[in-house]
Structure 1
C-alpha cells in the first residue's frame, strides 16, 4: 500500500477510491472550518451554499445546547437560536455541554435566576478552565441566587433556598 506524504512526513495510506490527495484533504478541511468555525469560504465553493450550511449547523448546535442546558435556552426565549449563533459562529464546537457552559460563562450577567443556579451548580461539581476537559471536584462552594451551593464528594446541597440537589 502506498500513499502521499502526510503530516510530519508520514505516508498516508491509500483509500478505497485511490491514493491520498493532500490538496483535496486541505480543501475539505478548509470547507469544514468555514462551515463550523467562521473561517473564510475556500476558493471553488459556492459562498451562499456554505453560509447556508453553516447556519444550519449553528441552529443544530443551538438545539443541542438547549437540550443540555434548558434553563439557559429559556433565559433567551425565542431569541435563543440567534443569541447562541451570534456567539458560536466563530467557535468550533466542544460538545453541547461545554458549548453551553462556555456560553453561560460569557453571558453570566444576563442569565435568568434558573440558568444562573444551573451554572453555579455545575461549577460547584466540576472544575473547568474553559480550555481543558472538565474534572469532577471533591469539594466546592458557589454563590447561587438566594443562597450558596455546597458540593462535597459529588453531593450538592443548596443552602438558603430550602432546595436540595
Structure 2
C-alpha cells in the first residue's frame, strides 16, 4: 500500500470508526466531519427503522451517534438492526420499536455478519404484546387484546 493510500485509509478510519486523527490533519475539522457523517448515518438508519428512531424522539441522532461512533457502517439496514438487537438484549427496546425488530427477524435471516436474506421457511417472533408470523413470504402481526 502506498503512503498516500495508507494516509487515506487512516483518515477514513478516523471519520467512520472512531480511530485517532492521523498526523497532518486538523483534528477540529476531522471531528466536525465525523459528527456530520454520524448525523447523516442516523438519518439513513431512521428511514430504514422509523419506529426505532421514533422511540428516541429528539434524542435519536445523539443516541445513534454514541452507539455508532466506533462502529464502521454496515449500511443503514444492518446498522439499525444491530442497534435494535443490542437494545433488545439490554431490555431497552419497547413498544413499536420492539415490534419492528420482531417483524424484521420474522421476515429475514441476519447473522450479524452477512447481508440479511429473505426467510424461506415459516417464522414466529414475539415482542411488545404482539406475535409476528411469517409464512409464504407474508408477515402478519397479531396483537394481543388489551
TM-score by length of 1: 0.82
Greater C-alpha radius of gyration: 1
Q: How does 1:35-74 map to 2 (within 5 A)?
A: 35-74=15-54
Alpha-carbon displacement from aligned partner over 1:138-161 (angstroms, at most 9, x marks no partner) = 221101222311111211122344
Higher helix share: 2
Which moved further from structure 2: 153-162 or 100-109? 153-162
Q: What residue in structure 1 maps to residue 139 of structure 2?
A: 156
Q: What residue in structure 2 maps to residue 3 of structure 1?
A: none
Match of 2:75 among 95, 101, 107: 95
Structure 1: runs of 5+ lacking an equivalent: 1-5, 7-21
Q: What residue in structure 2 maps to residue 140 of structure 1?
A: 123
Runs (4+) of structure 1 moved beyond 3 Å?
A: none
Q: Distance in 2 between matches of 1:160 and 1:27?
A: 53
CA contact (8 A) 2:99 2:130 kept: no
CA contact (8 A) 1:30 1:42 kept: yes
- 1:113 corresponds to 2:87: no
TM-score by length of 2: 0.92
CA RMSD, Structure 1 to Structure 2 (Å): 1.3
Q: Distance in 2 between matches of 1:141 and 1:88?
A: 29
Alpha-carbon displacement from aligned partner over 1:47-99 (angstroms, at most 9, x marks no partner) = 11111110000010011111111110110011111100000000011111111
**Structure number with higher relative contact order (C-alpha < 8 Å, ≥ 6 residues apart):** 2
